[in-house]
Amino acid sequence: MRGRLKIPPTKSALLALKRQVAFLEQGHAMLERKRELLTRLVYERLDQYRRLRAEVRSSLAESYEWLGMAHMRMGSQMLRQAALGLKPALALTILPRSSIGVEYPAVEVRTLPLQPVGLMWTDASFDEARRRLAQLAALLARFGEAETALWRLLAEQRKTQKRVNALKYNVIPRYRATIRYIQSALEEEERNTLFQIKVLREAGSG
C-alpha cells in the first residue's frame, strides 16, 4: 500500500502507532487553534495598518505643505540656520512585545514641546511646519510598529497553516493508513492461525 510507513506489522507497533496518532491529532488541534488566533490578530493588525497608512498620507501632505510655505517665506539658507542646534522633538522608546509566540517591537512615542528659536527673521510657518513634522514622525513610528507586527504575524500564520496542512493531508493519513494495514495483516495472520488449528484438530480427531 502506498502512502504508509515502513513498519513491521506487529501488535506492539500497532499500539505505538495509535499512541502517536493520538498525539499528532492533539498537536493538529492545537495548531489549528493557533492558526485561528493568528488569523484574527492579522485582521486586527490589518485594520490598524490601513487606518495608520491613511493618517500618514494625510499628515505627510499637510506637513510638506507647511514646510513648503516656510521654505517660500524664509528660504533654504534661513531654514538651515534656524534648524541648527534644535533638540529632538520626540521621545521614543522601543520595547519587545509578543503575541502567540510572535515577537515584534512595540513603540512608545510622545512629542515634546517645541524648542523656541531665538531668531528675529523666523516665520510662524516655520514653527507650524516643525509641529506638523514632529506629529508625522510620531505617526510614522506607530505605523512602523503596526507594519512590522503585521508582516511577522502573517509569516507565522502562513507557517502554521503549512504545518496544519502537512499534518492533516500527509502525516496523519500516512499513520492511519499504516494502522489499517497492520490491523489487516494481524487479522489475516489470526485467521491463518485459527485455520491451522482447525486443520490440526480435524487431523487429530480423524
Note the pLDDT tens digit of each residue in 120-171. 567 888 889 999 999 999 999 999 999 999 999 999 999 999 999 999 999 9
Sequence ranges of the domains in the chain: 11-200
Q: Is the pLDDT of residue 196 over 90?
A: no
Q: How confident is the model at residue 81 (pLDDT cuts 50, 70, 90)?
A: confident
Helix (H) or strand (E) holding 130: helix 124-166
Topology (CATH level 3) of domain 11-200: Helix Hairpins (1.10.287)
Residue 91 in 3-state DSSP? Answer: strand
The rounded distance, in Å, linking the Cα atoms of 114 and 128 is 10
Q: Would you give the DSSP letter of residue 87? A: P
Cell of 203: 487431523
Would you say residue 56 has pLDDT above 90? Answer: yes
In the block, cell 500564520 appears at 157
| Residue 66 one-letter amino acid | W
Q: What pTM value is reported for the model? A: 0.78
| pLDDT in the model for residue 162 | 97
Q: Helix or strand or coil: residue 82?
A: helix
Does residue 1 have a pLDDT over 80?
no
Amino acid present at 59? S
pLDDT of residue 115: 79
The pLDDT, as a whole number, for residue 194 is 80
Average pLDDT, the chain: 89
**Amino acid occupying residue 129:** A
Residue type, 118: G
Distances in Å between the alpha carbon of 10 and those of 92, 171, 182, 187?
64, 20, 7, 11
C-alpha grid cell for residue 10? 506487529
Instruction: Output the pLDDT for position 152.
Output: 95
Give the span between the Cα atoms of 87 and 84, in whole angstroms: 9
pLDDT in tens, 27-44: 999 999 999 999 999 999
Please compute the mean of the pLDDT values over residues 83-105 and round it to a whole number.
87
Model confidence at 113, in pLDDT bands (50, 70, 90)? Answer: confident
C-alpha to C-alpha distance for 201 and 206, rounded to whole angstroms: 9
Structural contact between residues 52 and 146, judged by C-beta atoms closer than 8 angstroms: yes
The span from the CA of 156 to the CA of 169, in Å, is 20
pLDDT band at 203 (very low <50, low <70, confident <90, very high): confident
DSSP single-letter state for residue 143: H
Residue 205 predicted with pLDDT over 70: no
**DSSP code of residue 113:** P
Task: Copy the grid coordinates of residue 84.
Answer: 541648527
